[in-house]
Chain A
Amino acid sequence: MVNGGDKTSVGHIHPISRAIFEIRAIFAELGFEMAIGPEMEGEWHNFDALNIPKDHPSRDMQDTFWIKPKSDGKLLRTHTSPVQIRYMENKLKSGIKPPFRIIAPGKVFRNEATDATHEAQFFQVEGLYVDTGVTIAHLKETLAYFFKKFFGLDAEIRFRPSFFSFVEPGLEADVKFGKKWLEMAGAGLVHPNVFKAVGLGGYTGFAFGIGLDRLVMIKYGIPDVRFFYSGDLRFVNQF
């Protein structure tokens, strides 16, 4: 009896997990280590420590899932930036000083309507480098190095001025694909208030955040973000 081939077929890793696997390796070449943290966070770690104060319009930039009751101040994290705060807190508690180099991948949550390019849950990967004398030039080359290796092309990077509460200057990074420029990451130099929040003085740093789902959608030509969370092997087994 000839079997349909099940016995010899290996399974497929989810394309998001594969992307994180590859990202870990690329950044390990630059000396970055992985850091992870809880998906359910406290208001301080998700907002206040990142220079996003209460009652400020900057909170509108990220629609939040608050856990009931809202007065408890618990939420589903809106970005993986809280992991950077926790990492720095832990290191400083153990008496370890910068340089810090971390990559923080993970699931994040936004309370907004879903469609082909928006899901209530998705993955981000953020990076943080803290040292003395960190500049935008370092940020530019680090991102260029990553995108070149991840997409396997001679990645051209450009910056546009932007704003995020936890960096200053704040930037958007675009990567060139053929003739088109696509927005790939938010980035900037770490805002002094963030260092103040963790009690770290006398250092500089850069940080960036990449939407992982979007990154994988571009790499594989996937048209709808909701495929990632469908549990459908017709999707997963393609990769």
Chain B
Amino acid sequence: MLISYNWLQAYFKKKLPSPEKVADILTFSVFEIESVEKKGKDALIDVKVLPDRAHYALCHRGIARELGAAIGEKIVVTARENPKVSKTAPLSIKIENPADCRRYVGRRVEGVKAGKSPDWLRERLESIGQKSINNVVDAANFVMFDMGQPLHAFDADKVRGAVAVRRAKNGEQMETLDGNALELDSGVLIIADDKGPLAIAGVKGGKRAEVDASTKHLILESANFDPALVRRTSEKLGVRTDASKRFENEPSREIAQTAMEEFSALLAELIPDARFGEIVDEYPAPQKRTSITVSAAFLSERIGVKIKAKEAAEIFIRLNIGVSVFGDALTLEIPPERLDLVIPEDIADEVGRLYGYEKVKGILPPVSKKPPEINKQVYWEYKIRAWLIEQGFSEILTSSFSPKADVAVEKPLAADKSFVRKDITEQMRMALALNIANLPLIGLSQVKIFEIGKVFPITGEHTSLCVGIGQPKGFKQNGSVNNQIRLVGNALVEELGAPVSTACTIDDSGGIVLLKGKPIGEVNREDGIFEFNLDALIAALPTPLEWDVSIPKAKGTVFTPISQFPFIIRDIAFFAFSAAPHGELAECIKKAAGPLARLVRPFDRFEKDGKTSFAFRIVFQSDNRTLTDEETNKIMEKVSAALVSKFKAEVR
């Protein structure tokens, strides 16, 4: 929640530390702070109020109380004079179901003139990014952002009969304050009069009884609604407001009365001629006062540091929680607005955060004498990874989402992510293609990759192992990828000692993998790829007795940026004396080519007539532009010149 530093300061007699320091204090005692921003003579502090404290801290007073507890200062609430009660028309409130509406505090105000708000009020609202509407609406919003109770005002002349809090009837309609026509049903709680809906309870007011420049009389509302009902309604209608946000976090029923008094007092100040009727308080489901007893021993045991009853008591006093101490036991009178303090663990949270976790000295828990059990699935997955890596395969991870499969997701992030994948093969095929295109940069002549991951076919979630080999057209060295991948699959199952056999077509265009006669995978459904059900395979393997898996050390531990710009390949072939060492030739080329040469790789060498022919491939790429042939040609001239000069090379 965005709060104004100046608004917060108004709660303290003493000058507060700087906004940054206040943010720091809150960070280590209660709330994460998203940002602190200077705004003219004020500062905006974005306080991250999480669901546990949203019922009391989505307002300046709640945050001020927390700040006060942290710095040991009591807050001061600006007192305004309560208006005298005058005789007005009666107000009748009918609550259909106390489970839906626990409390409804209403009040008539007569002889008002909705007009412009005074500067101080407009500044307060604008300081937290709220617009000023008119003095009545502004007063309601001010009180909500000040002490957390959402309020509403109706134009009383446009309300016929009693104010009813009831479920809408199917098909009832209402136009909102901002002109949206809403279709309602019995799942929606509304405020209504004899003519129909006046407001969506806790969410949004209707246009019919809107307070505007012509309004002469008001009905004020300060109420408490079932939070789940407000939340479901808000979601269903797609309307989220500052009011609904607070109601769905369930503020205390007790503050509805205080809020009506503060709303009235503020209106009386803004509109001195207004006449205020009786406060009508329908409170069919009163909140019960609660108390919790904890021992200092319990608190010490949870937090892990010895806390004396007296120290804990001091913390409760700072939090405005009434406490009585009997030896080690503390009995707490829970303030009505603190609905989050229910179990002793909640009390441990209050004490720990204000006592200071930095005072807790870490200690390792007792370690078991037995070595931990080995997870069979994890063991074999890493055994398989280690074997594949040894064979030159690298591990990739791809998306679990797919454009078309068996199981669909609601609200997908993109059309091509509407399903969860039923296999890895399709993504493996795309990964092979991507990496084949980049082979010159990677410095390999083939792509050998694998993925272990979950797939979601109609038969149910299982772990899949997918291995693929890809090679550029014209690479003939190792035969077809279909043949190669079949051999790898066979070698793997042999290594594992699994009872797996493959039934393949003669031309290697496909094959089914069988485990004890049951199909668990396929080979070459796409060329060069096999995929097994790894859960089925591992189930047939023995239970490991010790963790004897090892993987090679990491090649690098610092990321090097990958350029998004195209690379250019240049080959250079030359005769040199056979005594010229490989490494030195490569060094010479690298130096002459400069930093745009990303890879220098020898790829051919043969003897002829007492001379040795060398061939090197150089891959050029820039991090910030597409290189031109012209640029590259110029660099190649430099490379040739360097080879000639240093090694008397004959460049071909």
**A interface residues, Cβ below 8 angstroms from B:** 1-6, 9-18, 21, 24, 28, 30-36, 38-40, 54-58, 60-61, 65-70, 76, 99, 101, 107, 109, 111, 113-114, 120-121, 129, 131, 133-138, 140-142, 144-145, 157-163, 165, 168-172, 189, 191-192, 204, 219-223, 227-229, 231-239
Contact = CB atoms under 8 A, between A and B. Distances in A.
Given A4-B602, A54-B228, A161-B30, 5 more contacts: A5-B444, A6-B444, A57-B248, A135-B304, A233-B444
A111 B413 contact: yes
A233 B555 contact: no
10 contacts: A2-B604, A6-B392, A39-B454, A54-B228, A140-B357, A169-B303, A220-B559, A231-B397, A231-B434, A239-B556
B546 to A, nearest CB: 11
Given A70-B410, A137-B360, A222-B559, A36 B377 contact: yes
Interface string B554-578: 1111111110000000000000000
B50 interface: yes
B408 interface: yes
Contacts of B400: 39, 76, 107, 109, 121
Nearest to A219: B557
Interface stretch (B71-79, B278-286, B343-351, B489-497): B343-351
Interface residues of B, number: 112
A138 B304 contact: yes
A230 B601 CA distance: 25
Contacts, number: 297
B408 A67 contact: yes
Contacts of B417: 120
B302 interface: yes
A21 B382 contact: yes
B256 interface: no
Contacts of A228: 397
Contacts of B349: 161, 168-170
B302 A189 contact: yes
A16 B397 contact: yes
B442 A234 contact: yes
Q: Tell me which of B50, B301, B438 has the highest count of chain A C-beta atoms within 10 A of its own C-beta.
A: B50
A59 B409 CA distance: 18
Given A2-B604, A31-B372, A140 B304 contact: yes
Interface of B: 27-32, 50-54, 227-228, 231-232, 248-249, 301-305, 343, 345-346, 348-349, 352-353, 357-358, 360-368, 370-375, 377-378, 382, 385, 388-401, 407-413, 417, 420, 427, 430-431, 434-435, 438, 441-449, 451, 453-454, 456, 461, 547, 549, 551-552, 554-562, 601-606
Main secondary structure of the interface of A (DSSP, over half): mixed
Contacts of B605: 1-2
B373 A33 contact: yes
A159 B357 contact: yes
Contact of A11 (B51, B388, B562): B388
B461 A39 contact: yes
A103 B81 CA distance: 60
B372 A231 contact: no
Contacts of B449: 231, 233
Contact of B410 (A67, A236, A239): A67
B378 A24 contact: yes
